[in-house]
A and B are shown apart, each in its own frame.
Chain A
């Protein structure tokens, strides 16, 4: 899949009459957050894109553990640098493209902090928040990830602006999972192997993205 842009490039350079060298900048928003890219059209069928996307998300109370009344703080931080190639498969059909490439996820972390929300009675003692503690579930997908998808609508504007769309998925690096507890929950680190096993197949990162393009 990573080789795809190179193969396509080799094919394209053999057909100089289609060379266009169009350039555009792109702002995008979607499931991989917000981002920007530089688009370079080598031919009318083949375009390369290099860009960056970031997701800084924080949310509360979207995560529960069975058997524990708790509040949760979720944060997700995904920063990637990507290089993608768009190839229009059919002559004259410029609204449908195959997209392949890869991204390097500089940061790809999902953290959940679970804090028991009830007053914890230990016999006749009421424990403080510090004595009760919290549980952190951490997952890290940092690394190289191939991408495959389709592009809908034209790669480049006919005039200056256009909008197009990407549908696809990254296949992320195998995640490293970890559980850390504090207070009376410090023993929960023993659950790390089970968590690692549960999370190991969480590698598909679906992309639905809308791109706004400006042609030079």
Chain B
């Protein structure tokens, strides 16, 4: 092979990128914290604390022990060596605290059958007794396929294939991001996007949020999104 290599101009590895997956943590839960009465994202000072005997096994999706909310969102999951079984689900509790809001706790259960789950948590201002706002489900459209590639700004030779939760909203809107779905190895199919509309897509990973925009005019798109926090190796 080395002899053959000497007879051709192009290096065999020319323009080949190293593709790295982020699906290390298999059992995950995306927590979205909102103001229960307005539906807006939790205040910037809102904090999340993981409690209970299994807290030691809980990590942020990027593998960090430091778990914090970004625009009211964070994805947590089990250490890759901890696997729930049908007989032994893994239970943990998260506590959401924010200045001026009533602290709230929520139990999250990781089961063998459900590798991904969405955990919406509404927090109310202290003394507020109004019922929580009900956010209607987003309208349904035709199926659109999105393929995301994570880019490392400082490493052109590396590509990230993200497995993360994706949120979306119409471009130019100030409405809070809504849950779109779980992107598995860079791919997500959804029927929540209208034709001829532009959308901002957001992922929260490693304590940072990353966004990319796209106008939807066809059934499939390749999108590139910066993912600096996935490039630290």
Contacts and interface: CB of A to CB of B under 8 A. Distances in A.
Interface string B169-185: 00000000000000001
A204 to B, nearest CB: 4
Given A131-B24, A198-B11, 4 more contacts: A110-B1, A122-B24, A122-B233, A185-B21
B14 interface: yes
A18 interface: no
A187 B149 CA distance: 11
A129 to B, nearest CB: 13
Contacts of A194: 14-16
Given A124-B64, A125-B63, A198-B12, A205 B206 contact: no
Contact of A199 (B12, B18, B19, B22): B12
Nearest to B60: A123
A143 interface: no
Contact of B18 (A121, A122, A185, A203): A185
B18 A123 contact: no
A74 interface: yes
18 contacts: A65-B16, A67-B157, A122-B62, A123-B62, A181-B19, A183-B21, A184-B21, A184-B22, A185-B18, A187-B161, A188-B19, A198-B12, A198-B14, A198-B15, A199-B12, A201-B10, A202-B4, A205-B7
A139 B65 CA distance: 42
Nearest to A64: B13
Return the 7 tightest CB-CB contacts between A and B, nearest first.
Answer: A123-B63, A67-B157, A110-B1, A187-B19, A204-B7, A122-B63, A123-B64
A68 B11 CA distance: 16
Interface in A168-216: 169, 172, 179, 181, 183-188, 190-191, 194-195, 198-199, 201-206
Interface string B59-79: 110111100000000000001
A62 interface: yes
Contact of B12 (A120, A185, A195): A195
A190 B7 CA distance: 26
What secondary structure prevails in chain A residues at the interface with B?
A: mixed
Interface in A98-146: 110, 112, 118, 120-125, 127, 131, 135, 137, 139
B17 interface: yes
What secondary structure prevails in chain B residues at the interface with A?
A: loop
Q: How large is the interface on A (under 10, 10 to 19, 20 to 34, 35 or more residues)?
A: 35 or more
Contact of A125 (B7, B59, B161): B59
B16 A185 contact: no
B19 A191 contact: yes
A13 interface: no
A188 B185 CA distance: 12
Contacts of B12: 137, 195, 198-199, 202
Contacts of B9: 201
Contacts of A137: 12
A31 interface: yes
Interface of A: 31, 62, 65-68, 74, 76, 110, 112, 118, 120-125, 127, 131, 135, 137, 139, 169, 172, 179, 181, 183-188, 190-191, 194-195, 198-199, 201-206
Contacts of B17: 67, 191
Contacts of B186: 187
A186 B59 CA distance: 23
A123 to B, nearest CB: 2
Nearest to B152: A67
B21 A62 contact: no
A121 B10 contact: no
A203 B7 CA distance: 8
A74 B1 contact: yes
Contacts of B7: 169, 202-206
